[in-house]
Amino acid sequence: MNSSIMNLSVLQLSIAYIFILVLLVIFKARGIKRERQILIASVRMTVQLTLMGYVLMFVFDNASWWLTAIMIVIMLAFAIFNAVKRVKNTMSTELQRMVAVSMVGGALVTAAFFVMVVLQVEPWFNPQYIIPITGMIVGNCMTGIALGANKLCSDMEEKRVIIENSLMLGATPAHATKEIVNDAFDSALLPTMNNMLTMGIVSIPGMMTGQILSGTFPLTAIKYQLGIMLAILGSTALTTILFVMLGYKTFFTKDNRLK
């Protein structure tokens, strides 16, 4: 493998923004009013990634456990905020709290296990490994929990009569909402499962692509990609099951009545 990295100049990167112009032309021609959102998304992406690049350079050059911890806390905070924001239905404060608890618990446990046990990184707070890996895990957990929350909230509202009838017939809240909880969990995991089915044939994942472009031997890149995908699957499953198992309870009073 050639270990040299092809540098991307500012001019070359600027040329890539032609795809944004193409998208704007298509939306304009079709009469779809999305130009403002596209421009805002493009600018935010550019600014956020540029700032993150400088921040990571500083963190990598001054590796310490507290800097790494601050980065992880910031990532989790933004992920929790965006997960709640993506839910179309109105969420109670208690349910939002369950999103935070599930995200912190599921994502951190999985990231810590993967970095310390699977990769055996020394020291454990090495930002070169823990920040990008935690970022990928947290990002996927955010998407999963948002999908699960949307499904849980909408089904709890749509099937309210069915739940109340089950409760009147003597069912517990857990039994009355079992199908709803299962469907929410299934909806959250489905995108990750579909991604795994086509990986390596239809698509080459981003992490693997980045490593190959940086000169990493393909088989090494594949092993890393397999490991991170298994971690993503595990973290999404753990985060979502925590949320749906804790979340459905927020729809009931202490004496098991539907709020």
> Which residue do the tokens 């995200």 mark?
103
Q: Which pLDDT score, from 0 to 100, does residue 237 have?
A: 94
**Predicted local confidence at residue 205, as pLDDT:** 67
Q: What phi, psi does 89 have (nearest 5°)? A: -75, 155
**Which of 28, 104, 249, 7 is closest to 258 using CA atoms?**
249
Closest CA to 98 of 238, 255, 242: 242
Structure tokens at 40: 């805002």
The pair of three-digit structure tokens given for residue 62, joined into one six-digit string? 């001054």
- The sign of the torsion formed by the CA atoms of 205, 139, 239, 255 equals negative
Alpha-carbon torsion (154, 160, 162, 168), positive or negative: positive
**What are the residues whose beta carbons fall under 8 Å from the beta carbon of 193, sequence distance 6 or more?**
233
d(CA 28, CA 155): 36
Give me the pLDDT at residue 179, please: 93
- Looking up tokens 């989790």 gives 76
Give me the pLDDT at residue 204, please: 67
**Whole-number average pLDDT of the chain:** 88
Q: Write down the pTM of the prediction.
A: 0.82
Going by C-alpha positions, the residue among 227, 207, 247 that lies closest to residue 110 is 227
What pLDDT is attached to residue 5?
65
Beta strands in the chain, from DSSP E residues, in sequence order: none
- Contact criterion met (CB below 8 Å) for 74 and 222: no
The per-residue pLDDT string of the chain (259 residues; one tens digit each, 9 = 90 and over) reads: 555 566 778 888 889 999 999 999 998 888 888 888 999 999 999 999 999 889 989 998 888 889 999 999 999 999 999 999 999 888 889 999 999 999 999 999 999 999 999 989 888 888 888 998 999 999 999 999 999 999 999 999 999 999 999 989 888 999 999 999 999 999 999 988 888 888 777 666 666 677 767 767 778 888 888 888 899 999 999 999 999 999 999 999 888 888 8
The C-alpha angle 11, 57, 49, rounded to 5 degrees, equals 50
Residue 221: predicted pLDDT: 80
Length of the chain: 259
Cis peptide before 205 (omega within 30 of 0): no
